[in-house]
Structure 1
């Protein structure tokens, strides 16, 4: 019967089943081999190009084994990487609104663009213009282990590795047949995940060659927020009450009148009296379907030369589902004679319609004049004599009104985006020996990625406008003054009616069109390496070296249809996607030395110095020189002290350079111009007016709806290279007195200067309203408001919102300590115990967008400025007990430290609330005039985040797994994830970034799916 793998005590750093181990920076198999056996294999050393398996280098490397992934029943790489204490969640399966169809990793919370993903030590084709690798394409079925080096690695691997690398190492020389089938489902009966993988490998020609082929399929169902009690209803973070969007049904009106149409569509209620609950339509787990192929082979042409090749293919579809669309916050022209505008609503609109904006106050028509307009069923011109052969004349009783009509198109269904990605990547090469101790390796690779996004359920702004100029329920009328055309097939739309008033014909004309965006990338690379040792050195152990060169050419494009790339053309689409075209190439030369200085001496069993340098020449960013210096000192057997210092760099990627400036969406909880504050503060009023708010909107500007505002950003061709200083120091202890025990402790420190960054939304707002509170300041004038209602929401065509300019002015600094403890022992002859612990304490993570902005701390905090949660401390601990080497019971314990609402953001909200209660000269207003009564007491009044949403307590998750070796050929694994069915903490829906604060919780950090069950069976022959 097949047995579970047992480790020898010398392999304690790689204890089977560990969550993630900080191990020496060399690769080992699960069974420790003798030196001769190791020399026959290709050794992949993460963190160095030197391939000597006996070296323990200065950079700590974490390892996640394939056995650990089997215990977790992990289906895609992003799932286990986001749970590592050394990373924070990036875009993945729990991100719905903001998911671009790919999944990424974010080491040390420095941004997913600052770490590098490798396959067998080589770059993999990126998924988008930022150069990031989509983790959904990694073929886990053939992954032997995953190495995670968290710290600068650009000297070894080139740019993009400022925060580290994730290196997926495939199984080498696999022979046999392995079939894996698994199924997962939540306790609620949803979120089903099926995965199947078939891997076939064979040796041939007396072991001179080996080939492997793996085929996989995965299908994952959605989990809707409406199917969980904590997310069924949208909760406002600032009010604590049922919340939602003012883009609702019936419509909310803004402009001449601020009111909401009542439930039967006959009259008006107070504005936003019936907000739309969008939560039930959104999802916690994105639907996902994938088909993938992986193959690799090698053949010894002679004793000195081996050729090899590797190829992978993946086709996948990620789907996102968000609530029904509608007219949102655009301004439309509505003709007073519109057949769907009744007299009650029409008179209210007409009464607020200022026919002479050059005169103070609202110059309105009389009720009789308004009624004449309402009774006029003609367009801007009409046939006055009944003769079709004579020209039409101007209609003196025709007029239009500019009106914000926020109407949710529930009848048209949800807004869906399907992202279909097709990726292939291949490598061919040859390697061999120059001498007994020096090897060479020459390889070339090429990959392409294409991601097609297809959107449905979104309205077209032009068609909405056409459909709002009508003489009757079937006839659209052209009005060039407002941009309306009598387009063929146009059907007048009833945005003013109750739920159910949109007919299928109206939906087909306005909402039935789809949008398409195609993102394509390519990566060509050539790598040359000579590595080995000189055969001599200061000590008996010779000096090892590696020298080599690389050439890479990266190209990326984004092609959008006309509607997708036109600002404001697609309503509710989150901003335009203008075309992007860019490319660059880079030539690299690098070298490394590992110099044993002392060995076998008192207090110096070994002392090793490690040096490295890389010279890079970018076609876009010029030349860069990076270097590293480190060492390892073993004063006594079983204790190794190590340290490493690196100067790293990152050149701007294609997206950062070439993306056109465009207006999209970001998050902001409150707007200083909202409410009555500008009516009592003369300076604030002047600022709001200078930013484009109309005078009539002062005092009635709304806070950001659903916490979202317009922002304008894009690439910058003047960007330069950002640089980083990274260093680590720590120790590895394997005391002889406690066989099977390994402990590592490492302090790490990363400082990025000239960082390529954009301001956080709070930074852009504070730059004006706190630090440069002057209506003539550049910081204030850069913010541009909706010309109709003064808000920061609206059409991208006329409301740029907050400026988030990309510059090299940023600074990032983070440091902390990693701790790993691993222990293995035999309790009896038949019972074995494995214990592993891996934890990270993060001291700080400071981000400063510009020298004059706040140096913002995000460790332990969440807000719109700190998107993904990074606890101060987190760990994974696994306990595994093995019985007779045939059955394993394993418990994984994950811990996340408590976090709280960002104090800096809370202080800004308190300051704004205080202004709302003062007359602009520091005098407190009468209670009746205050916008924020008792805003720090029992009644925050919607001005600051509610007290109950200011903290998320510490969280513990437990996963229980049983694994049986049923026979030599069959293994069964059963797992219960989130054993105690822990629910995420409710913090409301608009306390943070939309991508991560969704469904009132943070579903990427905290389990929103609940208890779920997984079963897997593996057949091996």
Structure 2
């Protein structure tokens, strides 16, 4: 395919780039996608089914975006474009600094990235870690043809993980020629540049019987610090009581704070002379924002080869080889310290005034050793850097063939991910505790390891020698995952019914996944300050499946039934750990007239537990139990509440009922790890919709889809207090929460297991609308040439987006709220309605595009939560966030038949992000949902010879 149009001087490219570059430098601060799909003259396979069809009809809602549409808006990273789709809840992306693991995700219907199945050419990809979410950095963007997004379950067709839907990336197949391009992005503040260069070469041989496509893509993204933007430079907070905003931050302050009881109002802080004074809330909090990344840096090299060769007249062999090497860094403020310490009161760190307070308040046994919790920011050290470098290899080999009335396919894929996470500029917990135990002369009581005195009592008091002594310069965690998948299937139409042929698809699949996460010994032992101890994961599982689909025509060319088809499918799965499960689907497609199609589908989908949930190594720590929440305590009357049998089943003697009644908190064993007894999550999905299309000089389409997803047995881990609370609600010794608790004969809690269990529920109900028109431009706008105008509008509206961590709890609906979300079941911002509209004007060789993105306003969750729990409404500084509008402009110019210039500006009017204060995700807002950078300029030059 040629770009088309008239020839022009190539100097236009540099001239236009110069204009946009100057505009970018002058700034002081910081679409609806096309529904066109390429199709062959014969039946094709649509995402969401394995049965080839003579058109692009599908039983489930499907959105198809061509690579041309993605290029039009200058999206170099797939997640940036996918996150603008109304069906997608923004997830890990370029703004994900903390928490973050260097990956980029897609999250359909806000049910979590691990519940959205990602495919490449209809085949499953491998997760880079012990979970199930796929890193979009591994997708070969240089050779994409289109992206299909199917919402609603699809486990009967593709297996586990397709709870919320499927995202299928489809590559070009028969491209012949050379395709190379360059693109550069920059923000209006002159920073955050992203550069990408790619080349793809396609050729055929053996008189067209063999084809080879190779590609290389290199991308580099520069960082932006939160300190580089006024909006994100200072952490802003509010206390939800008096409606005021204030500078906020961390209680781990450079001066050092003695945390008496967890309440800042009772804390003490070391002033510059070294004396102790009351902590000032919020003035004394530490502003950690400036050191953090607002945009994380990324370097990514990807390369690969795709090929196929005919074997005789009725079969072909094919292969896919892929390599990707993304590296993403996160950056955090210097190490925060929050730990209990013992320190001699006569150590040279303290003034006389400080010694007096320590002796009076923190040395109850008068042994000269003060014991207290200290919070301290080790500001004498450098900011922490967390680097994730990943190597991803993928190989696919298989055969396609035709035999009599049947088409058959066999494929085998092998994926390997290896991630090296390197964390720099950390500090050792054990060495810090060693370094504060000194005599009056400042000598370590334990001189091993070259100990030097570590003075953390006052800002800037640590010497360079002390910094070096406690520094952990670099630690590394390694993750390796391997996935093997073998799939065989046949499709055919062996039976002719009165209304047409009965189509059948049958097949089987085998899959093995293994993963090993090996934390650095310093992480495993919990010696790295600011991080919890990391537990190894070593595990594997195998899956064996058989599946089938049928598409049966019932009526054709009948009154009010131009076409009526029924379809059904089922899949039986044997999971080596999670057991057996069935998934299924049934539905219909009805065309009362040729331009109108009505469809409905009912599906059962599952997500099997991942290796992190199954096989994380068990560790035992200490928990502190508040007796007031223990339902077995006499003061809570377990007998009167009908809970005595539960207490006895957990290990308590019946004679202790009404006797056990502790008056003070006490320690118990907190057991954390995986749970090999997990079952698959289950989702029942109903979708219904209609599509209308018109043809002629004016081409129009419209669709309306309804979707209802009910998820049960969702896998979540709960804190110990919640386990006790839910056990009391369940009032059954056999319930999952009650089985997490073990007691001694006296009734005291011995241990509580904080492990993942099948317990949570969610309901997501939505409406999707898509309307588009393409028509010749009026004569006054065509300049004497053939010109086209098009508009496409997509919108999604949540009727319900609710969840509960327990089936015994009422569902809490997050629709229209911010700062809402139960673990990973909902996003932090859940607008009821989002929409994206694109408008284009084409008069060859020029095309102009305008995109409008709209996010409906949201209310603060605190107001809804107060009403939900029957509490007085809070006085909020930010009770709601208004609707947000973004306008983007782009253009394309065909310089010649082989060269194209592209450019544009996102967020033309520099819409500022909304302030979320203490309810923020990061950077005072939710940067995955709202633009935090201001205008983005991009320019690209593409060459294609074929």
Asked if Structure 1 and Structure 2 have the same fold, meaning a TM-score greater than 0.5 normalized by the shorter chain, the answer is: yes
**Residues 849, 636 of structure 1: CA spacing in aligned structure 2 closer, same or farther, 3 A cutoff?**
same
Q: Which one of the candidate residues 248, 253, 256 is aligned to 2:258?
A: 253
Match of 2:796 among 830, 836, 840: 840
Flag the 1:49–1:760 CA change in 2: closer, same or farther, 3 A. Answer: farther
Contact 1:441-1:528 at 8 Å conserved across structures: yes
What's the counterpart of residue 653 of structure 2?
none
Q: 1:998 to 1:690 in 2, by over 3 A?
A: farther
> Which of 688, 705, 709 is 1:746 aligned to?
705
Distance verdict in 2 for CA 1:717–1:200, change over 3 Å: same
CA change 1:319–1:93 in 2 (3 A) is same
CA distance in 1, matches of 2:666, 2:471: 31
Candidates 337, 345, 370, aligned match of 2:354: 345
Q: Is residue 87 of structure 1 aligned with residue 88 of structure 2?
A: yes
Is 1:577 matched up with 2:587? no
| 70-79 or 977-986, which deviates more | 70-79
Q: Whole-Å Cα distance in 1 between the matches of residues 506 and 128 of structure 2?
A: 30
Which position in structure 2 is the counterpart of 1:279? 289
Give the TM-score taking structure 1 as reference length.
0.79
Superposed displacement of residue 300, structure 1 = 0.8
Where in structure 2 are there 5+ consecutive unaligned residues? Answer: 6-30, 629-635, 637-659, 732-736, 743-749, 779-784
Asked if 1:561 corresponds to 2:520, the answer is: yes
How far apart are 1:441 and its partner, in Å?
Answer: 0.8
Q: Comparing both structures, which one devotes a greater share of its residues to strand?
A: 2
Q: Which residue of 2 aligns with 1:13?
A: none
Partner Cα distance (2:672, 2:484) in 1: 30
Q: Give 1:856's match in structure 2, choosing from 788, 794, 812.
A: 812
Q: 1:982 maps to what in 2?
A: 911
Q: Is the Cα contact below 8 Å between 1:142 and 1:214 reproduced in 2?
A: yes
Match of 1:497 among 439, 455, 458: 458
Tell me if structure 2 keeps the 8 A contact 1:758–1:849: no
The alpha-carbon deviation at position 538 of structure 1 amounts to 2.5
Partners of 1:977 and 1:70 lie apart in 2 by 13
1:757 equivalenced with 2:719 (yes/no): no
Partner residue in 2 for 1:706: none
Select 2:614's aligned residue among 657, 666, 670.
657
Q: CA deviation at 1:963?
A: 0.9
Query: Structure 1 residue 134: deviation in Å?
Result: 0.7
Residue in 1 that maps onto 2:424: 456
SS at match of 1:160: coil
Quote how far apart the aligned CAs of 1:903 are: 4.5
Query: 1:62-115 deviations in whole A, cap 9, x for unaligned?
Result: 111101111121122221222211111112221111101212111111111111
| 8 Å Cα contact 1:415-1:457 kept in structure 2 | yes
How many residues are matched?
A: 860
Give CA-to-partner distance per residue, 1:877-906, whole Å, 9 cap, x none.
1101001x2111101111111111225774
- Residue 1014 (structure 1) aligned with residue 929 (structure 2): no
1:516–1:903 distance in 2 versus 1, CA, 3 Å? same
- Equivalent-residue separation in structure 2 for 1:428 and 1:689 (angstroms): 67
1:470 aligns with 2:447: no
Q: Residue 899 of structure 1 is aligned with which of 844, 851, 858? A: 858
What residue is the counterpart of 1:19 in the other structure? 32
Which aligned pairs between 1:225-374 and structure 2 lie closer than 5 A?
225-238=226-239, 240-255=245-260, 258-270=267-279, 274-326=284-336, 328-356=337-365
* 2:487 aligned to which of 524, 527, 530: 527
- When normalised by structure 2's length, the TM-score is 0.85
Partners of 1:820 and 1:662 in 2: CA distance: 51
1:401 and 1:93 mapped to 2: Cα distance? 45
**Separation in 2, partners of 1:907, 1:968:** 63
Structure 1 residue 474: deviation in Å? 6.2
- Superposed, 1:904-919 pairs within 5 Å as 906-907=865-866
Tell me whether 256-265 or 290-299 shows the greater mean CA deviation. 256-265
Q: Deviations over 1:249-269 (max 9, x none)?
A: 211113498311113434434
The 8 Å contact of residues 46 and 58 in structure 2, kept in 1 or not, is answered as no
In the alignment, the residues of structure 2 paired with residue 76 and residue 348 of structure 1 have an alpha-carbon distance, to the nearest angstrom, of: 56
Q: How many Å separate the matches in 2 of 1:597 and 1:569?
A: 68
Aligned counterpart, 1:400: 369
Rounded to whole Å, the distance in 2 between the matches of 1:632 and 1:207 is 38
How far apart, in 1, do the equivalents of 2:508 and 2:753 lie?
41
Q: 1:615 aligns to what? A: 572
Partner Cα separation in structure 2 for residue 264 and residue 616 of structure 1 = 69
Deviation sequence 1:468-525 (CA, Å, 0-9, x none): 11236763212xxxxxxx3222221110132x32222211111233221111111001
> Could you tell me how far apart the structure 2 residues matched to 1:336 and 1:559 are?
40
Q: Is the 8 A contact 1:691 1:782 kept in 2?
A: no
Instruction: Name 2:8's counterpart in structure 1.
Output: none
Q: Is the 1:563–1:569 Cα contact (8 Å) retained in structure 2?
A: yes
Measure, in 2, the Cα distance between the counterparts of 1:525 and 1:910.
48
Residues 1:877 and 1:766: Cα distance change in structure 2 (over 3 Å): farther
- Displacement of 1:737 after TM fit? 8.1
Residues 402, 181 of structure 1: alpha-carbon distance in 2 compared, 3 angstrom cutoff: same
The answer for the alignment partner of 2:766 in structure 1 is 816
SS in 2 for 1:467: helix
Go from structure 1 to structure 2 and tell me whether the alpha carbon gap of 1:760 and 1:892 turns closer, same or farther (over 3 Å shift). farther
Q: 1:282 to 1:953 in 2, by over 3 A?
A: same
| Local SS of the residue matching 2:380 | helix
Residue 970 of structure 1 pairs with residue 931 of structure 2: no
Instruction: Give the deviation of 1:688 after TM superposition.
Output: 11
d(CA) in 2 for partners of 1:1012, 1:125: 32
Give SS of 1:1001's match. Answer: coil
Q: 1:761 to 1:830 in 2, by over 3 A?
A: farther
RMSD: 3.4
Cα distance, 1:951 vs structure 2: 1.2
Give matches, 1:99-178, under 5 Å. Answer: 99-178=100-179
Could you tell me which of 620, 624, 635 is aligned with 2:592? 635
Gaps of 5+ in 1: 6-17, 357-364, 366-397, 479-485, 665-670, 674-680, 695-709, 773-777, 784-799, 915-935, 937-943
Say if 2:840 and 2:848, in contact at 8 Å, map to a contact too.
yes
The Cα shift of 1:771 comes to 12
Counterparts of 1:563 and 1:611, CA distance in 2: 53
Which residue of the partner structure matches residue 931 of structure 1? none
Residues 892 and 960 in structure 1, CA contact (< 8 A), matched pair in contact too = yes
Indicate the residue corresponding to 2:645 in structure 1: none
SS in 2 for 1:835: strand
Which of 870, 893, 897 lines up with 2:830 in the alignment? 870
1:546 aligns with 2:502: no
Partner of 2:59: 58
Q: Distance in 1 between matches of 2:488 and 2:573?
A: 15
Partner Cα distance (1:950, 1:514) in 2: 43
Q: Deviations over 1:559-618 (max 9, x none)?
A: 01211112x421112x22110111111111111111111111111111111111111111
Partner SS for 1:742: strand
Residue 556 of structure 2 aligns to a residue whose secondary structure is strand
- Determine the structure 1 residue equivalent to 2:876: 947
Cα deviations by residue, 1:342-374 (Å, 9 ceiling, x for unpaired): 222111111112425xxxxxxxx6xxxxxxxxx
Q: Tell me: CA distance 1:101–1:691, structure 2 relative to 1, closer, same or farther (3 Å).
A: farther
| Distance change (3 Å), C-alpha of 1:98 and 1:762 | farther
- Gap change, CA 1:124 and 1:323, over 3 Å in 2: same
Deviates more, 1:823-832 or 1:597-606: 823-832
In structure 1, C-alpha distance between the alignment counterparts of 2:718 and 2:776, rounded to whole Å: 55
